[in-house]
Copies of this chain bind each other. A is one copy, B any other.
Amino acid sequence: MPAKSTARRSTGDRVRVAVNPAAVREVALTLFAERGYHGTALSQIAKALDIQTPSLYNHMASKQELLVAILQDTTDRVLAEYEGAVDGVADLGARLNAATYVYALRHATHPREAVIVNRDATAIDEPVRALVHAKRRKHADNIRGLIQEGVESGRFDVENATVAAFAILEMCVSIARWFDPAGPISAEGVARQHGDFALRIVGN
C-alpha cells in the first residue's frame, strides 16, 4: 500500500496527490519560501492541491499555524543538530568545524525551511515569536561562545568573536538562497567547504 503522502486518486483526466495535513504543509513550505508568508494566499495553496480554499481547514487550523509549525520544527532541529555535532568533540577547532558543517548542511538540504525562518519569523504573533527568537539566539550564542573560548585560550585569532560568529553563521544561512542541489557540487561538499571557511575565518 502506498504511503499517505504519495497516494493518488484520479480526477477525470488528472491524477492528484492525496490531500492530508502533510501534503498541505509541503505545499505551504514551497509557496511560503517562494513568495513569502504574506505573499502567499491560502487560495494558492488550495489551487496547488486542486481543492477549494475552505477545504484546507480539514487539514489545518489556520494559515498562521502552518508557519508556526515550520518555524518551531526547524529551530528545534538546528539546536539538536548542534548538540549532536559537538557532543564528545574536545578540540575547539574540531567543534567549530563540526557545528558549521551541520548548520551548512541543513541549509543546503532544507532551503525552503531556512528561507522562511530567515524571512518570515517576524510574521508570527507572540508568544511563539519570542520562543523562536530565543532558540535562534541560543544557537548563535553557542557558536559565539565557542569562538570566544578559542580566542581566550589562544586557539583562535579574531578581532571580535561576535562579528566572526555572525559571519560564519550567516554565510551558512545564505546557502539556502543560492545552492542548487542539481548543480555540480553536493550538499555535503558545500557544507565541508563552509566548515573549512569557518576555521580560516578564526585564523586556523
Known pairs A38-B36, A119-B119; A167 contacts B194 (CB<8 A): yes
Distance of A119 Cα from B39 Cα, bound (Å) = 11
Does residue A8 face the partner (Cβ distance < 8 Å to B)?
Answer: no
Distance of A175 Cα from B167 Cα, bound (Å) = 8
CB-based contact B160/A193 at 8 Å: yes
Chain B residue numbers with a CB within 8 Å of A162 are 185
CB pairs A–B below 8 angstroms (29 shown): A34-B122, A35-B38, A36-B119, A36-B122, A36-B123, A37-B39, A39-B123, A118-B177, A160-B185, A160-B189, A160-B193, A162-B185, A163-B185, A163-B190, A163-B193, A164-B193, A164-B197, A166-B175, A166-B178, A167-B171, A167-B193, A167-B197, A168-B171, A170-B174, A170-B177, A171-B171, A200-B200, A200-B203, A201-B201
Distance of A36 Cα from B37 Cα, bound (Å) = 10
Chain B nearest CB: distance from A102 CB in Å? 17
Chain B residue numbers with a CB within 8 Å of A170 are 170-171, 173-174, 177-178
Q: How many copies does the complex hold?
A: 2
CB-based contact A166/B159 at 8 Å: no
Distance of A160 Cα from B177 Cα, bound (Å) = 18
**Those 3 A-B pairs whose CB atoms lie nearest each other, nearest first:** A170-B174, A38-B38, A167-B171
A118-B177, A167-B194, A170-B173 are known contacts; what are 11 more A-B pairs with Cβ within 8 Å? A36-B36, A36-B39, A36-B120, A37-B39, A163-B194, A164-B193, A170-B171, A170-B174, A170-B178, A200-B203, A201-B201
Chain B nearest CB: distance from A114 CB in Å? 12
Known pairs A38-B39, A174-B166, A174-B173; A159 contacts B119 (CB<8 A): no
Chain B nearest CB: distance from A183 CB in Å? 9
Chain B nearest CB: distance from A117 CB in Å? 12
Residue of B nearest to A177 (CB): B170
